[in-house]
C-alpha cells in the first residue's frame, strides 16, 4: 500500500507507520465478534502462527539483518516450573520486538537432556540403575516400573546395562520434550520450531567431541591424577562451579599432638575421623606461639605417626588454637597446603565415602594399626564416633566436643557433604591455574569487560568468579548418560593401561562411543587385553556440552552457511545463578575455539520468590507448575506478570499480578471493539493523519509518539519492563480519559444544549475522532504485541490482513504529523482530570452518571483553564453538561491542600433520566 501518509485523502486506508507492506492492509470490512474474550485464544492462534511459519528464520538473511538468540535449553527431566515461564517470556518479548524492527530472528529451541537430572528421573521412573559391567539385555527388555512409583529405593532398583539405561533415558526425555514443547506453544513463544536440538543428539555429541579434541590438540585439555571434589552418593567428580556451601552440624574437638620434650600441641578440628590422613600441622609464619615448632615434628594422637610442623601464610591465627592439621584431604585448604608445601598423599576416604578397608603403611604402631582396623570400611560418620572414643580413652581428647555449625561443600544436586579423593580426571583450561606462556585468566576477564551485561551490575559476578578460580575446569564425570570422552588408551604388553598416550579418533568419524566403537588400527577382540586398548569410561560434564549451545544451534561443523549468518550470536538470556557455569563456560569455549565472544549481550533474569520471599526451585520443593496457571488466567496474563519484572530483579510469584494482566488483555479487546465500531456499519476505517484536526486528538497522538520513542528506547536497552509500563500507563489513560471524552463525537453526537437539543458536529470533527482512534489502536496493538501476543492477534484479525506479529514496529512520523507543530502538553491529562471532577459531583450526590449537569463552574490553573476551554465540546458531551462551562482561573486544591489542575467549585444537577 503506497502513498504519502500525511496527504492521503479521507477514507483511504493508510498504515500508521511508514510501512508499505501489502500484507498488513485494511480489510474490506471490520468484523468484530458480538462477544469478545480471552478464552480459547491460545488454541485459535498458535496453530495459525505455525501453519503460516510466522516465526521461521529466513536462511537467506545477511548477518547484519539477523538477530540470533542462544536460547537456554531447559533440562528435559520432569516438568517445567513457573521460573521457566518467567525467564523465557523475557526472551520472547525481545524476540518479538526485534522481529518487528525488521530483524530476521534466529530463535531455536534446545533440550538439555543429558546429565544427572535425567539419570535420577529414569532411575525413579523405571526403577532401574546402570551397571556398566552388564551385557545388553536386548531391545525387548521391559523395566519393572513405568512412572507408577514416585521414587524407587536404590536397593530395589534393577541393575541394567549401560546401553539399556541410555535407551531408557532417551525414551523418557523424548516424552518430556513433547510436553515441554506443548507448554511453550501455549505460552506463545515465537520460537522457530524448525530449529530444535538435543544436547545428547548426534549433532551435539559431534560438536562437543570435536571441540574437546581440538582443546586437547592445542594443549587446552589435559588429564591429571589429582585430588578433587567427589560426591559419594552419585559416585562422580564435581566441578568448582557446581558447589554449594551449606551449613552442616558438627562439633569442635580439641586434640593433643605430641612434640619433643613432652610438649602438647593442641588443635581444634571438626573432622577427627581424618586423623590417620594427617600429613602436617600448619600455622601462620608470624604466629609467635608456634615459631619454635616450625621445622620440627610432632606425633599424631592415637596413630603415632610423625609429621612436620610447617608455616603457611593462609593459616588463620585467630581461628581455634591458631594451628591446624593438614589432612589429605579434608577441604580445599588442605589441597592448597598439600600442593604448595609438597606434602605426601595419605588418603583414607574412598570413592564410596567409607574409610579404606586396608590399614595404610604409614601407620606403624601396634596401637595405631589396631585402631585403624576398627575404622576400616566404616562411613565417615561412624569413623568419627570411633576416633573420638579412642581419643577419649587415650586421654588425647581435651574436654568434650562443642557443637557448632560448619560450612561444608555440597554438590548442588546432592544431600551429603563432598569428600576430596584422588582420581584421574579430564580438565579444560579456564584460567584457574597458570597456563604456560599465556595469561588465560586475564584474557577471559577482558572478554567479560567486552560483553554487554543487562543489567550491568551482573558483570561483577562474572569478574569475581573468574578472579577467584583456583583450578581448571573439571569436565569428566563418572556417569552414564552423556557425551562420552572421545578417546581410547593403549594397553601395553604387560597389561598396563597407558593413560598418558590417549588414542584419538578422526573428526570425520564423530560422534563416537569408546565403550562400543574401536580405534583405528585395532579390532574389537583387542578390547581390554594386553597389547590392545580400553575406552575412556567417563562422560563429559553436562556444561561441557551446554557450553557449546551457540555452535550446536548455529550449525558449526554441519551447516557452515547457517553458522556464518548467526554467529557470534546477539544475546544469551539466562538466570543469574548460572553465570559462573553456563555463561562463563560458553565464553571459555568460544574464546578458545573462535577467538571471540559467543554473543554481544547477556540478558540476566532474576529469581522467582515464593510468598516467604525464598527462591523457587525444584530442589526446594516450592515450585508451581505453570500449565494450570496458563489455562486459568490465560497466557497473555501470565506473560504480563513475567514481563513486568526487570532483568536481574527478583520477582514475587503473584497471582494478583496475573489477574491484572488478564484484565489488561480483556480491556485491549473491549477498547478495540469500541474504536473499530464507532463508525456506522460498513464505513471505512480511516488511518489518515491529515484527518486529525481537533486539539485533544492531536495531543493524544503527540503523547503516543512519546510513548513509542520511550518503549523503543527501553526495548533497545533490554528493559522490556519499562517498555510495558510505559505502554500500559498510556493505554489506561487512553481508555479512562480519552475514550470517554471522545465517545460521543466518535458516534457523531454533540453536547446537549440547554434546550435539550444536541449540538451539530462537523464531518471533520467526527472524522478526527475516528481517525485518532484507528491510528492509536494501530500503534497500541503493535506496542502490546510482544507482551500480549494472543489478544493483539485477535484484534488485528478484525480489521487488518496479515499478522500483527509480522507488522513493523511503530514509528513516530505519522503520529508527529498528525499532532502538528505544538500540541498542548498535558492536554489529555487535564481533560481527564476535568471529566473526573464532573463525575465526582455525581458520585458524591449518589446519582447516575447519566444525570445532566445544568450549570457548572470550574476552578483551574491558568494553563489548565486554556486546556479545558480547548476541549469544552467533548467535555460537555462526556459529562452531560447542558450549558457552557464557567471557568475561573485560580489555585484549585483538595480539602487536604493538595494542588490540582482543575476542580468543580459549583454545580447544579438536573433530574436523572429514567432507568431502562
Structural domain spans, the chain: 5-35+654-819, 236-420, 837-909
Residues of the chain predicted below pLDDT 50: 1-23
**What pLDDT does 742 receive?**
95
Of 188, 20, 33, 5, whose CA–CA distance to 797 is shortest? 33
DSSP letter at 520?
T
**What pLDDT does 225 receive?**
82
Dist. CA 588–CA 473, nearest whole Å: 10
848 class by beta-carbon count within 10 Å (0-12 exposed, 13-18 middle, 19+ buried):
exposed
What are the CA-CA distances from residue 722 to residues 361, 646, 710, 829 (Å)? 68, 8, 8, 21
What cell numbers appear for 4 in the block? 504519502
863-909: pLDDT as tens digits: 999 999 999 999 999 999 999 999 999 999 998 999 999 999 999 99
Count Cβ atoms below 10 Å from residue 311 Cβ, excluding itself: 17
Dist. CA 893–CA 914, nearest whole Å: 34
The superfamily CATH assigns to domain 236-420 is: Valyl/Leucyl/Isoleucyl-tRNA synthetase, editing domain (3.90.740.10)
Through-space distance between the first and last CA atoms of the chain, rounded to whole angstroms:
46
Beta-carbon contacts of 653 under 8 Å, excluding residues fewer than 6 positions away, are 82, 608, 609, 610, 611, 616, 624
The superfamily CATH assigns to domain 5-35+654-819 is: Isoleucyl-tRNA Synthetase; Domain 1 (1.10.730.10)
Question: Residue 614, annotated ligand binder?
Answer: no
**What pLDDT does 11 receive?**
32
Cβ(696)–Cβ(738) below 8 Å: yes
DSSP letter at 450?
H
806 class by beta-carbon count within 10 Å (0-12 exposed, 13-18 middle, 19+ buried):
middle
Beta-carbon contacts of 36 under 8 Å, excluding residues fewer than 6 positions away, are 666, 669, 670, 673, 794
**What pLDDT does 914 receive?**
84
Strand order across the 419-428 sheet: 236-237, 221-231, 419-428, 473-474
305 class by beta-carbon count within 10 Å (0-12 exposed, 13-18 middle, 19+ buried):
buried
What cell numbers appear for 227 in the block? 585430588
CA 415, chain centre distance (Å): 24
**What pLDDT does 419 receive?**
87
Q: What is the CA radius of gyration of the chain?
A: 36
Dist. CA 273–CA 299, nearest whole Å: 16
Amino acid at each position: 500500500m503506497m502513498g504519502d501518509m500525511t496527504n492521503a485523502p479521507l477514507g483511504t486506508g493508510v498504515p500508521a507507520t511508514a510501512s508499505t507492506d501489502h500484507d498488513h492492509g485494511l480489510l474490506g470490512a471490520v468484523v468484530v465478534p458480538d462477544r469478545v474474550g480471552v478464552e480459547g485464544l491460545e488454541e485459535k492462534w498458535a496453530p495459525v502462527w505455525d501453519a503460516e511459519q510466522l516465526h521461521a528464520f529466513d536462511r537467506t538473511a545477511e548477518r547484519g539483518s539477523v538477530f540470533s538468540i542462544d536460547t537456554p535449553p531447559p533440562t528435559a527431566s520432569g516438568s517445567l516450573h513457573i521460573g521457566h515461564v518467567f525467564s523465557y517470556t523475557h526472551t520472547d518479548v525481545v524476540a518479538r520486538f526485534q522481529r518487528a524492527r525488521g530483524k530476521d530472528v534466529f530463535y531455536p529451541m534446545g533440550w538439555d537432556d543429558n546429565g544427572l537430572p535425567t539419570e535420577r528421573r529414569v532411575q525413579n521412573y523405571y526403577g532401574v540403575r546402570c551397571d556398566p559391567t552388564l551385557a545388553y539385555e536386548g531391545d525387548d527388555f521391559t523395566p519393572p516400573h513405568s512412572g507408577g512409583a514416585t521414587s524407587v529405593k536404590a536397593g530395589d532398583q534393577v541393575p541394567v546395562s549401560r546401553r539399556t539405561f541410555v535407551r531408557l533415558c532417551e525414551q523418557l526425555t523424548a516424552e518430556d520434550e513433547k510436553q515441554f514443547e506443548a507448554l511453550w506453544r501455549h505460552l506463545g513463544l515465537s520460537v522457530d520450531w524448525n530449529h530444535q536440538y538435543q544436547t545428547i543428539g548426534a549433532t551435539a555429541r559431534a560438536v562437543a567431541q570435536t571441540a574437546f579434541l581440538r582443546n586437547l590438540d592445542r594443549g587446552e585439555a589435559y588429564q591429571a591424577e589429582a585430588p578433587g571434589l567427589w560426591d559419594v552418593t552419585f559416585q562422580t567428580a564435581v566441578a568448582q562451579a557446581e558447589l554449594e556451601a551449606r551449613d552442616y552440624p558438627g562439633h569442635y574437638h580439641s586434640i593433643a599432638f605430641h612434640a619433643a620434650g613432652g610438649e602438647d600441641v593442641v588443635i581444634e578440628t571438626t573432622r577427627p575421623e581424618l586423623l590417620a590422613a594427617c600429613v602436617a600441622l600448619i600455622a601462620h609464619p608470624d604466629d609467635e606461639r608456634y615459631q619454635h615448632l616450625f621445622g620440627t615434628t610432632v606425633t599424631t594422637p592415637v596413630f603415632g605417626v610423625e609429621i612436620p610442623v610447617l608455616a603457611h601464610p593462609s593459616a588463620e591465627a585467630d581461628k581455634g588454637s591458631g594451628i591446624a592439621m593438614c589432612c589429605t584431604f579434608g577441604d580445599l585448604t588442605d589441597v592448597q597446603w598439600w600442593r604448595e608445601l609438597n606434602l605426601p598423599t595419605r588418603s583414607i576416604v574412598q570413592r564410596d565415602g567409607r574409610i579404606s578397608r586396608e590399614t595404610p603403611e604409614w601407620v606403624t604402631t601396634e596401637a595405631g594399626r589396631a585402631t585403624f582396623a576398627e575404622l576400616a570400611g566404616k562411613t565417615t560418620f561412624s569413623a568419627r564416633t570411633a576416633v573420638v572414643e579412642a581419643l577419649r580413652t587415650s586421654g588425647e581428647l581435651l574436654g568434650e566436643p562443642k557443637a557448632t555449625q560448619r560450612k561444608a561443600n555440597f554438590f548442588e544436586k546432592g544431600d551429603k557433604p563432598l569428600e576430596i579423593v584422588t582420581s584421574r580426571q579430564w580438565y579444560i583450561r579456564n584460567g584457574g591455574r597458570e597456563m604456560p606462556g599465556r595469561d588465560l585468566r586475564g584474557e577471559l576477564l577482558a572478554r567479560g569487560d567486552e560483553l554487554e551485561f543487562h543489567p550491568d551490575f551482573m558483570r561483577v559476578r562474572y569478574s569475581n568468579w573468574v578472579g577467584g578460580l583456583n583450578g581448571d575446569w573439571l569436565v569428566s564425570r563418572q556417569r552414564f548418560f552423556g557425551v562420552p570422552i572421545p578417546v581410547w588408551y593403549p594397553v601395553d604388553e604387560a597389561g598396563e593401561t597407558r593413560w598418558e598416550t590417549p588414542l584419538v579418533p578422526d573428526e570425520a568419524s564423530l560422534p563416537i562411543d569408546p565403550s562400543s566403537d574401536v580405534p583405528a588400527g585395532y579390532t574389537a577382540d583387542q578390547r581390554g587385553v594386553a597389547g590392545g586398548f580400553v575406552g575412556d569410561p567417563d562422560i563429559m560434564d553436562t556444561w561441557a556440552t551446554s557450553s557449546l549451545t551457540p555452535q550446536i544451534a548455529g550449525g558449526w561443523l554441519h551447516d557452515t552457511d547457517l553458522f556464518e549468518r548467526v554467529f557470534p550470536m546477539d544475546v544469551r538470556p539466562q538466570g543469574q545463578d548460572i553465570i559462573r557455569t553456563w555463561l562463563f563456560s560458553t565464553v571459555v569455549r568460544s574464546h578458545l575455539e573462535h577467538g571471540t565472544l559467543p554473543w554481544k549481550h547477556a540478558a540476566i533474569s532474576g529469581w522467582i520468590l515464593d510468598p516467604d520471599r525464598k527462591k523457587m526451585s525444584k530442589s526446594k520443593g516450592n515450585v508451581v507448575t505453570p500449565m494450570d496457571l496458563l489455562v486459568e488466567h490465560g497466557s497473555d496474563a501470565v506473560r504480563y506478570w513475567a514481563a513486568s519484572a526487570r532483568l536481574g530483579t527478583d520477582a514475587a510469584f503473584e497471582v494478583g499480578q496475573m489477574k491484572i494482566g488478564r484484565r489488561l488483555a480483556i480491556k485491549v479487546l473491549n477498547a478495540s471493539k469500541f474504536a473499530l465500531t464507532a463508525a456506522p456499519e460498513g464505513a471505512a476505517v480511516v488511518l489518515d493523519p491529515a484527518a486529525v484536526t481537533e486539539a485533544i486528538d492531536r495531543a493524544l497522538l503527540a503523547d503516543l509518539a512519546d510513548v513509542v520513542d520511550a518503549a523503543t528506547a527501553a526495548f533497545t536497552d533490554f528493559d522490556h519492563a519499562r517498555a510495558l509500563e510505559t505502554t500500559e500507563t498510556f493505554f489506561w489513560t487512553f481508555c479512562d480519559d480519552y475514550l470517554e471524552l471522545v465517545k460521543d463525537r466518535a458516534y457523531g453526537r454533540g453536547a446537549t444544549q440547554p434546550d435539550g437539543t444536541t449540538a451539530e458536529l462537523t464531518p471533520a470533527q467526527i472524522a478526527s475522532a475516528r481517525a485518532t482512534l484507528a491510528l492509536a489502536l494501530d500503534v497500541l496493538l503493535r506496542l502490546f504485541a510482544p507482551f500480549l501476543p494472543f489478544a493483539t492477534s485477535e484484534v488485528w484479525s478484525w480489521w487488518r490482513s496479515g499478522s500483527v506479529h509480522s507488522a513493523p514496529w511503530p514509528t513516530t512520523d505519522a503520529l508527529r504529523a498528525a499532532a502538528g507543530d505544538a500540541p498542548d502538553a498535558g492536554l489529555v491529562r487535564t481533560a481527564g482530570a476535568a471529566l473526573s471532577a464532573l463525575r465526582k459531583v455525581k458520585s458524591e450526590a449518589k446519582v447516575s452518571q447519566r444525570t445532566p449537569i445544568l450549570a457548572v463552574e470550574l476552578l483551574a490553573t491558568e494553563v489548565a483553564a486554556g486546556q479545558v476551554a480547548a476541549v469544552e465540546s467533548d467535555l460537555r458531551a462526556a459529562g452531560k453538561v447542558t450549558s457552557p462551562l464557567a471557568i475561573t482561573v485560580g489555585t484549585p486544591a483538595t480539602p487536604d491542600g493538595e494542588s490540582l489542575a482543575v476542580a468543580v467549585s459549583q454545580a447544579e444537577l438536573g433530574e436523572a433520566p429514567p432507568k431502562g
